[in-house]
Chains A and B, each alone.
Chain A
Amino acid sequence: MNALIRSIGILILTCLLQVLIFRYAIFAGGWIVICFHIYGLILLPSELSKTSYILIGAVVGALIDVVLLTGGLHMAAGVFTCFMAPWLTTFIAPREGFTKEHSISVLHDGWGRFLVLSSLISFTYMFSLFAIEGWKWSLLPNAIGKGITSTILNVILFAIVQGLFGPKPKSSTNTTSTYHW
């Protein structure tokens, strides 16, 4: 339960950061777009049911659409990503599967698993966002290209944030002093 509340808190924080700061992070003529709220979606625990996951994706997307005036674009991408996410997670899951309260982190799963899952979820989101936005077969290669470039920058950002603020190993050194004072 604690992991769930923590993850929802992180999701709200990432949405706020997306709306207030990262909405301006559009580079190279729209080829690189930061969607920081994806980080919040990646960190959602595996104890969540697939239905709740889809609903969370829809609510997050809809809220961002209302503020950024994108009229359903993020909602469609969020729902699609959250529908695919449980299936994408199976690619990186260990043979025995994840524990109930498990939320992906570098500390518990290693950099490899974290980067692969972040890349898969980010690409699914960014590609669906650009594909729906273009809504033309001719613009599909463009959407793939933009999806790849945006995913690269998003994953770099997620890795930095995970390295700085992610769970840290507990110090093994004994902090209790042997002296009496």
Chain B
Amino acid sequence: MRTLIQLIIRNHRLVLFVLLEIIALSWLASTHAHPRGSLAKVGMEMSTSWTDALGKLINYKHLKENNSSLLIDNARLRTENMSYRSLSTSPRLFNSGDSWKSTPAEIIRYSTSFKNNILVANQGSLAGLKPGMGMLENGVVAGFITEVSVNHSLVIPVIHLSTTWSVRLGYGGAVGLLKWSGESVEYATLTDIPLSEHILPGDSVITSGFQGTFPSGLLVGQVEELIVTEADEFQSVTIKLSADYKRIHYVEFLSKESTLEIDSLLSTSSL
């Protein structure tokens, strides 16, 4: 025992280094690079007041572009509204009994240059946001909430190494897993697609609705190119993401009452 203590004392610097590295890496691993918990809330509150002030200045710079983007968005919504009126029910989108609710928000902080990017939105639990809710940017899938404070929420975008998304190729195609490779913010890779599936560049990739975060049928991106390995039974597809992370600003969060019911059922069954 004494020898061990002497050994630790003799190499105390190395022991301290290893100990601190273990603490740092466990901190990183415990969050799976998804910042959450009380520390994440403290960080969010500390930095958002400064970011808010700076964001206001930056927003003025992009006011003209945002205005035209809002005009286009308005036109899209108007068109959708009219099509919903003419077709009393849509068979593909929002096809369940209870409908999805949308909460608008603004992205006040974002990173797109790292492997594990995060976004912070200016709405939190006060606006009814909860962890697990999906986020849309200009009507296309962009991320989901992992943590909320009273006035802010932390969002993990598609461009994050630790997330996988259940998506479908077109409305009747195969379901696969979408994962970001960590390279370009414009592209992600869709895997687990059977070789029998006939895919063409430009085909739409939409949400499957299986994760409960989004309704089925929401646009995620478009097929860019196929990656087929002879030895493999599955093919991979490079997808051009429809969400524009470099200019992300106004977003909407989706929630559905029945998702909570399903989550509680799943948690009961796992017990």
Does residue B82 face the partner (Cβ distance < 8 Å to A)?
A: no
Q: Which B residues lie within 8 Å of A98 (CB)?
A: none
Write the B105-146 contact mask toward A (1 if CB under 8 angstroms, else 0): 000000111111010100000000000000000000000000
Query: Given the complex, which residues of B lie within 8 Å of A22, measured CB to CB?
Result: none
Query: Cβ of A71 and Cβ of B182 under 8 Å apart?
Result: no
In the assembled complex, the Cα of A81 lies from the Cα of B242 at a distance in Å of 39
Select from chain B the residue with minimum beta-carbon distance to A26.
B113
- In the bound complex, residues from chain B placing their C-beta under 8 Å from that of A66 are 39, 42-43, 46
- Assess the A20–B24 pair: CB atoms within 8 A: no
CA distance A133 to B115 in the complex (A): 6
Known: A51-B13, A79-B17, A139-B115. A68 touches B47 (CB 8 A): yes
From A6-14, A37-45, A53-61, give the one contacting chain B.
Answer: A53-61
Total contacting residues, chain B, CB less than 8 A = 37
Given the known inter-chain contacts A67-B43, A69-B40, please indicate yes or no for A132 contacting B50, CB distance below 8 A.
no
* Partner-contacting stretch, out of B28-36, B60-68, B165-173, B219-227: B28-36
> A58-B20, A133-B114, A133-B116 known; A75 and B27 CB under 8 Å?
yes
Smallest Cβ distance from B261 to chain A, in angstroms? 31
Q: Which of A24, A33, A61, A134 contacts B24 (CB 8 A)?
A: A61
Cα distance A139–B181 in the bound complex, in angstroms = 10
Contact B50 A72 (CB under 8 A): no
A1-50 contacts to B (CB < 8 Å): 19-20, 24, 26, 29-30, 33, 50
Cβ–Cβ < 8 Å partners of B47 in chain A: 19, 67-69
Which residues of B11-31 have CB atoms within 8 Å of chain A's CB atoms? 12-13, 16-17, 20-21, 23-28, 31
Interface pair B16/A51, CB less than 8 Å apart: yes
B185 at the interface (CB under 8 A from A): yes
Q: Could you tell me the distance in whole angstroms from the C-beta of A77 to the nearest C-beta in chain B? A: 8
A73 is an interface residue with CB less than 8 A from chain B: yes
Q: Which residue of A lies closest to B120 (CB)?
A: A69
- Name A72's contact: one of B13, B26, B120, B154 (CB within 8 Å): B26
Judged by a CB distance under 8 angstroms, whether B44 is at the interface is: yes
Whether A71 contacts B42 in the complex (CB less than 8 A), given A30-B113, A133-B115, comes out as no
With A30-B114, A58-B23, A66-B46 given, can you name 6 additional A-B contacts, CB distance below 8 Å?
A54-B20, A68-B47, A71-B35, A72-B31, A75-B20, A139-B115
B interface vs A, CB < 8 Å?
12-13, 16-17, 20-21, 23-28, 31, 33, 35, 39-40, 42-44, 46-47, 50, 54, 111-116, 118, 120, 154, 161, 182, 184-185
The 9 closest A-B pairs by CB, nearest first: A30-B113, A72-B27, A76-B24, A72-B28, A75-B24, A72-B24, A69-B35, A26-B113, A79-B20
